[in-house]
Each structure stands twice: as C-alpha cells, then as structure tokens.
Structure 1
Amino acid sequence: MSSTAALTSLLTETPASAAEAVAQPHASYWHPATILDWDPTTDRDARYNRSTVPLAKRVVPVRPANAHAHTGEARVQALVAYAPTSNNPSQGSLDMNYYATNYWQYIDELVFWGGSASEGLILAPNPTVTDAAHRNGVRVIGNVFLPPTAYGGQIQWVRDFVKREGDRFPVADKMIQVAKHYGFDGWFLNQETAGGNTQLANDMRDFIVYMRKSGLRVIWYDAMTDSGSVSWQNALTARNKMFFEQSDDMFLNFWWSTQGLANSATLARQMNRSPYDLVSGVDVEANGYNTSVGWASVFPEGKPHTTSLGFYRPEWTFKSASSPADFYSRDNRFWVGQNGDPSNTTTTAAWKGIAHYITELTPITTLPFVTNFNTGHGKKFAIGGAVRSTQAWNNLSLQDVLPTWRWSVTGAGTRVTPSLDWDDPYDGGTALKITGTPVSANDVRLFATSLKLTGNSQFEIVHRTGVGPSRLQAILRIGTTEKVLDLGGFSGAWRRSVFPLAEHAGATLTEISLRVLPGGPITASIGRIGVTNPVLTPPVAPSSVQVEQVSRTSTTTVSARLTWTRAPGPVRQYRVYKWTGTERIFLGGTTNDAYFVPAILLNTGETASIEVEAVSEAFDVSPPARVSITGTP
C-alpha cells in the first residue's frame, strides 16, 4: 500500500515508570513466529483486551435523510490507525485527544490498521474500538501487514505465515483463536513483500480458505498476484481473482480508473460475486476531504454504484485538527459535506460527503434504547448530572449511539444550531446542545429507530435550559403519526421527563426529533434520551472483585489492575469509583470483567475503597461491589 511508510512515523509513548509499563495492558501484536506462542491463559493482558458487545443489527431508516443516496449498494470500509503498533493502551487513557470514531452510520466495516517490521505484523484491535463499532452494527477487522522489503519486509515472514502442518495452518489457527477470544470479526491480509512464487501464492489462497471455514471474514488487499509477485492491479483481474474468489472482500489499490472499475464490476458478476465485494481504495491520510477522488467512477450519476468504497486513514480529520471542536467540524464535513446537513449535500465542491452517496443505517432496533450522547472521550465525567471526575479521558467502550443525522434542522428563516458539548455533560463526557434564536418552529431530527413498543414502554428525556420556559417539544414518529410531547416548564437544573407510550403498544417507533418553538434566544442541553420498558429491580452487583496489581506511578498516585465476576444478566458496562468516605470519584469504565485504572490518588501506606457497579442498558445501576487497595511504596 502506497502510504505504509507513514505507519513507522506514528507517535510512540513512553511509560511514566517501569512499574506502570508492567501494569498497563496493551493491545496485542505479533510476528508470524511469535503468535504461535500466544495463550490467553498465560498472556496477562488477554483478559483486558476482550470485547463483549455483540454486533448490533442495523436497518435503513423509514425516512432516509438524502434522496440522492443509494441503499443496498456500495458499502464503506474505513482503514484506521488509532495508535502506534506497540504501547497502545488496551482500554483508553487519561487524554481527551483521541480519534473518537462516531459517524458509524455510514461505515460497514472498520479495519484496525497498523503494523511495522520492527514491532509486529499481526494486530488485534483494541476492545474499546470493537465495543463502539459493534454497538453501532459495524464489523471490526484485525490487520496483517506483511511489508514491502523497503520497509523491512522479509519473504521468510510470509512463508512462516502460511506454513502448513499436515492439513492445518498453525498461524491461522492462532489468528482464529485471537479473534474469537477478543471478540472481533475477521482479518485484513495485506501482503506486500516481494520475492514470492506461485507456490507461495497458492499457499496464501489455501490459508484464506482455511481461515474462512472458521466463520471469520477475510479481506484481501490487491498486491500479491497469482505468480507470487507483488504487482498492484488497481482492479479485479486474472492476476488477483484467485484471492478475491476465496475472500469476503478485496480492497483495490488506489490507482484505479473508471474503465478499470467498470471491468472489475463486470468480472465480479461473471464470477457470481457482488461488485460491492470490491472496495475501491481512496488514500485520504494526507489531505482528507481535500483529496481528489474519481467519485463518478465509483458512484456514476443516475446509475447503480460501481463498487464499494474504502478510506485509507480517515482519522486525518483528527490528526489535522487544532482542537476537539475543529476535529468534529472536520469529521462532519468529511462524512456529511460542507453544508453540515446530511439531507442537503448540494454543493459545487467536489467533496460532497459520504451522506451524498450512501444511505445512513441505524442500530436502534431493540428496547431499551438510551443515549447520553457520550462520544467516548471528554474533559470530565458526570454521573446523573453530578461531575464525578475532572480528569480528561478517552474510552470508546463507553461511547453511546450518537444521533443518526448530524445535523438536520428544518424551519423557515434563522434556525437553531445543534452540537455536541463537552463542558456540561449529564452522564458521561458529552451532552447535546441546541442554541440559537429560531423565528419559526425548528425540528431537529436526531435518531432513526425501529423500536416495537410494548404496553410498558416509556419515553424519557433529561434536559435543561436557562431561565424561562424551555420551548422544547419531543416529536416521536410512530407509524405514520407524530406524537408531540411538551417538555415545558422551567429547567435551570437538569429535569427528567417521562412519558408513557402504552397506547402505542405493538406499533413501531421510527424516529425521535426535538422541536424548538420560536420566542427568543434559547440555549438548551439534552443530557439523555431513552425509550425503555422500566424494570422493578436494578442489576445485580458484580462479585469477587480482585486487585490483580497495584503499581506506584508517582508520589501521590498508583495504578491498579482490577478483575471481577460478571453480574448475571445483560450489563451495558461496569463503572469503577474510589470512595473517599464523603464522595465517589469516577475512575473509569468498561464492558469487560477486567479494568486497568491508570491513576488513583493514594499515598504510600494509605488504603482506599474501590467500588465497582454494574450498569444496565437503561442505565439502572447495581449496588456496588467493594475491594480495598493500599498504596505501595
């Protein structure tokens, strides 16, 4: 791949101390020879690298935003490098600056990009990435990077990779074990090392066949050919079709042409394959939405899409940004276009946003649905309206499902502006903020849903505004009707409103919007929106909380590895606190049964009480399970 050299220049991290280096769990990576020794029972980081969120079902909205976009044709792959190959914390870190992927509605599959000759070639995704992606119905794919010789690649590594033992491929067996243990969906094979022959190519093909029998997905990158040489075809041809016919998808190198893609689509159909199993690569690492793209080659106007589309390094929106607000502005333009409205992508700009071509999908298909608009990183962390930590953080495991449409506001004249706000969260690190002076009723479309209501279903919303009536209404589209819920009243503090939906039992809720009525300026914060069937009993607490390790990281702080036995029944996440005797300080959270706490204020010899609580999908919480830790010298 033409931009692989950039991988070696990613920032590296230096642990604060030797003790912290031993304590901090990291995402896994291997060479072909070293993965053979991997055993989850002896790898002390393995438990911290597991994702537990199942892949959500997604559906097309009843009323998609953009009439120009197509449904059921091209898919989007994103090849993202979140961190260096080595020293990549398993469960987030104490830093807000992170590529918090959150336009999942346009992505079908995410490849956890990375790898370097000096560190490792086979990369398993962070569980945080898989948790967030799966919650949004997006598959996550680990990466194999067998690099060009110019970047340290060795043909012996390729031979080791596909080495057989009888009818087995030992490396494939380990990769299957890794994916199933860690909970991700397959592997991307990027073989760019020169020096192969026909036998090596045949072995690689057989390796793919063997791996797919496990049920994992395999994506092949257009580099190695049937002769074993490396020759980028930038198309589906006779030289690489043997790999495509055995793979789920093939990522076509970046230098494709209109005719080449058309011929590729034709050949795919002749092979009884969908042309959308071909992914036309676009390298956006350097220039993001300023990249020149042959859009009409992939998405010809007035015709079916030619192939799917793959973005190499869309985290440009983060890497090039000057601040979190700048990152979100760039990310919105990348996915939605310069108008910032997925329903209006009309522009003379060449980059119209993916919303112009691809219909959004929603994972909100089962009750309960609750979102606190948590983006998975922030300046602070709040619980139920009270700030429980002022420490910056990132942890995509805690990310909520974010609005389907960002942002689609209807109304005559001046309209309000929705945004995500990290200064005043209700629960987590972010809230939805709406500001402006509407001169007519403004409807802010938020969530596409497919929720079959029951006799116990209710809609809840937590919001607050400045002094004066809130002038906010919630609009629920149920079947073909709109249910208008007046949020009224004065909302200087966080206010929770609950509306029963029993009269709509058996009907399907398809959309959640907010209406802002005219009458002057408004600044409103929405901390939570949910559709639930309330339960009478909270979740059961986790049990057997254990302190696996405590390490001194400074004169006043320690880190700790914690494990516990899961609470019975479905649990959305576990939250970890320090109890001071007068207040609870939030230390972090995970969907897992093991969590690394990077910083706990604790002097030498001092003892602290640590609490772990289970949180349900509806954000009901269990009683805490407790364990004591003592500060080490």
Structure 2
Amino acid sequence: MRRRLLPLLCAALTTVAVLSTPVLSTAVQATPTPAAAATAPPATATRAPEPVAASTVRAGGDGGQPYASFWYPDTILGWDPATDPDARFNRSRVPLRPRASLPALKANPHARAGEGRVASLVSFAPTSGNPSQGSPSADYYAFTYWQYVDTLVFWGGSAGEGLILAPNATVIDAAHRNGVRVYGTVFFPPTAYGGKIEWVRDFVRKSGGAYPVADKLVEVARHYGFDGWFINQETAGGDAALATELRELITYARGRGPVEFMWYDAMTESGSVTWQDGLTPANDAFLNDPHRVSDSMFLDFGWTAAGQHASRDLARSLGRDEHELFAGIDTEANGYATGVPWEAVFPSGQPHVTSLGIYRPEWTWKSSSGPADFRARDSRFWVGANADPSDTTTSSPWKGLAHYVAESTPITAKPFVTGFNTGHGDFYNVRGVRVRDGGWNNLSMQDVPPTYRWVVESAGSRLTPSIDYGDAYEGGSSLRLTGRLDAVNTVRLYQARLPVSAGTRLSVVLKTPQAGPTRLQAAVAFADAPHTFTTFDLGATGGTGWERRTLDLSAHAGRTIAQLGLRVTGTADAYDIRVGQLAVHDAGWTPSPRRPG
C-alpha cells in the first residue's frame, strides 16, 4: 500500500486541534511522538466534536488575536463578514498583479518560460492558528521565491478544527504583489482521520437550483480578495451521484465567480477514492465534463514518466493545456533530498510535459535550526546548491526549481519601490529610524524580492550580495554587498518591464561604514538591448547614515526598462555597502513607509 501524506497531515493537525481546544472533548489521549503521528490515527475524544464557526475557536485560547477563517460545510452558511469580528483583518486589497517573463533574460539556460508552472501547497500554521495580520515573532515561513511560483495553496483543514480554510490577508498581499494566485483549501479527510461522508453531502446540498456552500465559497473569495479553492476529497463512502454533484457544484461556483478551482486526484467519477497518479478516463470528468469543470488538477505522488505523457495526451484530447496538470511531489519529510523523476516532467532540452505541484515546501523552515539556516535551505530548494540560479551545476539530483522554470516579474508599472524587506525581522525601521525592537512577521509588508538571487558577473572575485537583517531603511532588512573587490562586479537584481517617460527617475538609498567613495553605480538595461547595462554613478557618501540619490532617466524616454541592477568598480580589500531602497518613479512621487494592503 502506498503511503499517502496528504491525509497524514490531517492526523497531526487534528491532534493539535484536540489538545489546544479542550472545549471540543472531554478526554484526550497523550500527544503521540512524530513517528507515531505518522502511522496512527489522531487522538480521539469520548464524543465527536461539534462543528464550530471560525470565530469560536482561537489557538491557545487568545480571544483578542484575529485569525484566518475556517469552517465546516454547515457553519460557513452562517458566515457574514458584517458580523465576523475577524473579517476586516483577513481582507486583502492588493490586486493580482500581471507578470512578464522575457525568455532572453532567464537566469538559467536550461529553464523554459511559458510552459510548466509551479503550484506550492504551504501549511503556514495549524488550521485554527493562522494570524490574520502577522505576529510578534521573526520565526515564520517568510517565503521570497515567488518568481518561480504560479499558484500558492494555503494548505490546511482537519476534522477537529474545520474543513474549509481561507487564506489570511498577509499571504494574499505578498502573493498578489508578486503576481501569484492564492487558493484556500477544502479538505475532506479519510475516515481513518475523522472524515465523514455526511460532510461531503452537506457540501453539495442544493437549495432549489443553487448550491449554498458554493455561493459562500465565492463570497468568501471575493470579500477576502483571493483567487480560488483547492478541493481535496478523500473521504470514502461516496458514489457516482455524489461525484457528479461535486463536479456540478464546481461548475456552478465558477459560473458565479470569478473563482478558480484545483481538483486533487483522489475521488474518481465512480465516487470511490482511488488515486490515479495522473489524468485518466476515471477522473478526467473533474477537468472537463464535457466542458471546463476545474481549472487545474493536482496529480498524486505516484506518477511515472509514461503516466505523465499519457496525462498530457489526454488533456490535449480534451482541448486542455497540459500545463494545467500539476504532477505532485511530497517534500514535507525530506525537502531537497526527496527523490523526484525530474525528466518525466521537465525533460532536458524538450518542452515541459506537465507542471509541478510541490506539497509542503515549508520543510525549509520547519526543518531548520534557525533563521539563517532556513534562508540557506530555502535558497538551495529554489535556486540550487550554488545560491546562483544561473549556475545549478551540482552532483545532487536536486538542482533547484530555477534549473527548470524561468523567472517571472511583477514589475510592470510605476512606481516600483523596494526596501528589500522580506516581511519578517528582529526590529522595524522607518526611514532608517528604529521604531520597534523585537521579532515580528507580516508578509503584507514584504517588498518584491530580487528576481535573481544571486547572479553576479565579474572577471575577478565576486562580491557577495545578501539580504541583511542587521540594518534597514524600511522594515527589518536591506541589501548588502560585501567581499574583496578586485574587478568590476555587475549584480543583476530585477527583471522588469517599466516604460520610461520624460519624468522618470531612479532613486537609490544607500549607506556606507564610513564617509567616502561608494564605488557603486546603478545599472539599467533596456528592452531594446536587454543584456547591456547603462550605468549611473552614485558618488560618495558624506557620512555613515542613509543617503538618497535621485537619477534622471529622461534621456531614455520612450524606452522600456528590462533589468535593474548594481555595478561596483575600483578596488577594496573589504568592500561593504548597504542599499536600503531602490525605486523607479515619475516626477512628483514622494517616498513614504509601506502600509499593509
């Protein structure tokens, strides 16, 4: 029997829910060890928990902290944003930004643009424990490799907390700012982990010609500002009629949208839970029946090369894009040590067969020994062992996602402003002034991270770029360049598509350890010559504080910025400089601190 880790998550989360919300039970078993949790059902109560509304349960009993919304099928029917005290804190007002990807500017020669995509299924916290607006701790999965991701699924749901989980505003804000879609989760767990087929029937129950739960799913997505739902139906006991109702509910909801759906390869058209590990005649009606049902499908983990090719061919025969199929890989336990038949999905030198679905990439955070280790693991996971997306050469089978998927950029409109704030830190600065000490996280405050981390071109020693958490102009971090300088260094930072007008300016805020020449130039490449940088000297500093330089780009009016970077010239045994802000804007723009949303 193949091991299924999607349902096993339910076991761990249900245990957490029972232990942290004693109101739901009168007797609780001892907490299992991690090994036991992976093989045994969750702790059970002497009676089944009563379904509770999102506003009823608070992780740790903290009634003042707002949390992301979660429900059962019957409790979501009573949800009203006007009466939910947490609703206003969960609402994102950052629209999904358009993205661009110029194939000529991809970092890695093996990567392909406009083909296979990446869906990332992330559990930021237990279902009932996702703060709406961050928390006073730097210990958080502050994800920054959005340029390789198409869709983020806010993963969760459990029998003991709630089956339907909406994403919180901070994740929606950060994802949308980077052009990434966000889905909530609907999770019907296996019966071994508390699943009840009655919950599925409640989900599809009709009122006249309407599906009331579907209407609520659409309302929640619209009100909170996210893009769709991931449907994971793994509860046994269904039949063909129930499977048909689920397809009709999805079609109905999409018609009431705009709202998207990703279907998980578990329940088949017969109603049985039988993982296909691909798109097959047993489950293809959840994609098309005969018209579009789901927008995409997550294929379970046991797929093969032959199965992926068959899935591609079947998708094409249905008139669907094969890249709407996401071949699942499970990285929860082993991260970048996970064995993946990469050639079956992303064959070398050939078009991508399907897309990739990554289950639980936050392994990089949960397995780490601390913040620095998390960032190193996340870098290796996404751009490879060399921390350079242009060089993924390694003896490891895991080359990083940058080896296969070309970067996308959301930088398509002015003003573009970044303070290199990653959305967490150990202090908070505003215009270089410390306004708060202590850890924090809030992804709503995250800036668009650099597209290329890190690509440095030099004929000599290469400087080391880093996100530095020791100083900041805005937020809790800044860009830092350090190392031996013995030749010209060009640091590629951002891919962009920004039109230049007569009023366009480039602004840089920088800081040096002592007054004197910075040896630093702003570097801009234009779409008509995307690999050729035009440089603008940033001069010398007059002290050791933050200083702003504003450069006039009017001589390039009518052109389009394709890359933003930095160039360092001269020599220094121990070069060190921080960049606290980089902005492209038109005349009249006034620098101001970022506000959430």
Q: Same fold (TM over 0.5)?
A: yes
Match in the other structure for 1:424: 471
Match in the other structure for 2:587: 534
Instruction: After superposition, give the CA deviation of every residue in 1:185-241 in whole Å (9 maximum; x if it has no partner).
Output: 000000000000111011011011111112211000000001100000001111100
| 1:181-196 superposed matches below 5 A | 181-196=223-238
Question: Is the counterpart of residue 209 in structure 1 residue 251 in structure 2?
Answer: yes
Match in the other structure for 1:391: 438
Match in the other structure for 1:241: 284
Alignment counterpart, residue 326 of structure 1, candidates 361, 369, 373: 373
Question: Is the counterpart of residue 40 in structure 1 residue 81 in structure 2?
Answer: yes
**How many Å separate the matches in 1 of 2:315 and 2:20?**
47
User: What SS class does the counterpart of residue 373 from structure 2 fall into?
Assistant: helix
| 1:121-270 superposed matches below 5 A | 121-213=163-255, 214-245=257-288, 246-270=293-317
Whether the aligned pair in 2 keeps the contact of 1:366 and 1:450 (CA below 8 Å) is yes
Alignment counterpart, residue 516 of structure 1, candidates 553, 562, 568: 568
Instruction: After superposition, give the CA deviation of every residue in 1:496-520 in whole Å (9 maximum; x if it has no partner).
Output: 1000111111210111111122411
**How many Å separate the matches in 1 of 2:459 and 2:555?**
33
Match in the other structure for 1:597: none
Amino acid at match of 1:145: F
| 1:537-576 superposed matches below 5 A | 573-574=594-595
**How many Å separate the matches in 2 of 1:64 and 1:81?**
29
Alignment counterpart, residue 304 of structure 1, candidates 337, 340, 351: 351
CA offset at residue 487 of structure 1?
A: 1.3
CA offset at residue 99 of structure 1?
A: 0.2
Count how many residue pairs are aligned between Structure 1 and Structure 2: 543
Instruction: After superposition, give the CA deviation of every residue in 1:520-568 in whole Å (9 maximum; x if it has no partner).
Output: 12111110000011327799xxxxxxxxxxxxxxxxxxxxxxxxxxxxx
Question: Is the counterpart of residue 496 in structure 1 residue 548 in structure 2?
Answer: yes
Amino acid at match of 1:6: L
User: What SS class does the counterpart of residue 22 from structure 1 fall into?
Assistant: coil
Whether the aligned pair in 2 keeps the contact of 1:465 and 1:522 (CA below 8 Å) is no
Match in the other structure for 1:357: 404
**How many Å separate the matches in 1 of 2:401 and 2:187?**
27
Return closer, same or farther for 1:497/1:536 CA change in 2, 3 Å cut-off. closer
Whether the aligned pair in 2 keeps the contact of 1:111 and 1:140 (CA below 8 Å) is yes
**How many Å separate the matches in 2 of 1:36 and 1:82?**
26
**How many Å separate the matches in 2 of 1:348 and 1:87?**
39
Match in the other structure for 2:156: 114
**How many Å separate the matches in 1 of 2:109 and 2:301?**
29
| 1:375-524 superposed matches below 5 A | 375-467=422-514, 468-478=516-526, 479-480=528-529, 482-490=533-541, 492-520=544-572, 521-524=574-577
CA offset at residue 472 of structure 1?
A: 1.0
Higher share of residues assigned helix: 2
**How many Å separate the matches in 2 of 1:197 and 1:69?**
43
Alignment counterpart, residue 94 of structure 2, candidates 53, 77, 86: 53
Q: Which runs of 5+ in 2 are unaligned?
A: 22-57
TM-score (norm 2): 0.88
**How many Å separate the matches in 2 of 1:179 and 1:372?**
30
Q: Which runs of 5+ in 1 are unaligned?
A: 540-571, 575-589, 592-633
Alignment counterpart, residue 84 of structure 1, candidates 126, 132, 135: 126
CA offset at residue 493 of structure 1?
A: 1.6
Instruction: After superposition, give the CA deviation of every residue in 1:275-304 in whole Å (9 maximum; x if it has no partner).
Output: 101100000000100100000100112211
**How many Å separate the matches in 2 of 1:160 and 1:534?**
56
CA offset at residue 8 of structure 1?
A: 4.1
Instruction: After superposition, give the CA deviation of every residue in 1:44-100 in whole Å (9 maximum; x if it has no partner).
Output: 111111000000110013522112101111000000000111132111000000001
Whether the aligned pair in 1 keeps the contact of 2:456 and 2:491 (CA below 8 Å) is yes
**How many Å separate the matches in 2 of 1:64 and 1:222?**
32
Match in the other structure for 1:585: none
Instruction: After superposition, give the CA deviation of every residue in 1:102-142 in whole Å (9 maximum; x if it has no partner).
Output: 10000000000001101000000011000000000000000
Whether the aligned pair in 1 keeps the contact of 2:10 and 2:159 (CA below 8 Å) is no
Whether the aligned pair in 1 keeps the contact of 2:118 and 2:149 (CA below 8 Å) is yes
**How many Å separate the matches in 1 of 2:210 and 2:398?**
47
Whether the aligned pair in 1 keeps the contact of 2:110 and 2:349 (CA below 8 Å) is no
**How many Å separate the matches in 1 of 2:254 and 2:461?**
54
Instruction: After superposition, give the CA deviation of every residue in 1:437-457 in whole Å (9 maximum; x if it has no partner).
Output: 022111110011100011111
**How many Å separate the matches in 2 of 1:536 and 1:102?**
27
Give the CA RMSD over aligned residues.
Answer: 1.8
Amino acid at match of 2:223: H
User: What SS class does the counterpart of residue 99 from structure 1 fall into?
Assistant: coil
User: What SS class does the counterpart of residue 433 from structure 1 fall into?
Assistant: strand
Instruction: After superposition, give the CA deviation of every residue in 1:240-295 in whole Å (9 maximum; x if it has no partner).
Output: 00102211000000000110111110111111111101100000000100100000
Alignment counterpart, residue 113 of structure 2, candidates 65, 71, 86: 71
**How many Å separate the matches in 1 of 2:59 and 2:264?**
39
CA offset at residue 182 of structure 1?
A: 0.4
* Structure 1 ranges of 4+ moved more than 4 A: 10-15, 17-20, 536-539
Whether the aligned pair in 2 keeps the contact of 1:437 and 1:518 (CA below 8 Å) is no
CA offset at residue 318 of structure 1?
A: 0.5
**How many Å separate the matches in 2 of 1:538 and 1:307?**
43
CA offset at residue 373 of structure 1?
A: 0.3
CA offset at residue 573 of structure 1?
A: 4.7
Counting aligned pairs with the same residue, the percent is 52
Amino acid at match of 1:140: V
TM-score (norm 1): 0.83
CA offset at residue 412 of structure 1?
A: 1.9
Question: Is the counterpart of residue 104 in structure 1 residue 146 in structure 2?
Answer: yes
Higher share of residues assigned strand: 1
Amino acid at match of 1:512: L
**How many Å separate the matches in 1 of 2:590 and 2:536?**
28
**How many Å separate the matches in 1 of 2:587 and 2:427?**
29
* Between 49-58 and 411-420, the greater mean CA deviation after superposition: 411-420
Amino acid at match of 1:332: S
Question: Is the counterpart of residue 29 in structure 1 residue 70 in structure 2?
Answer: yes
User: What SS class does the counterpart of residue 273 from structure 1 fall into?
Assistant: coil
Match in the other structure for 2:44: none
Amino acid at match of 2:12: S
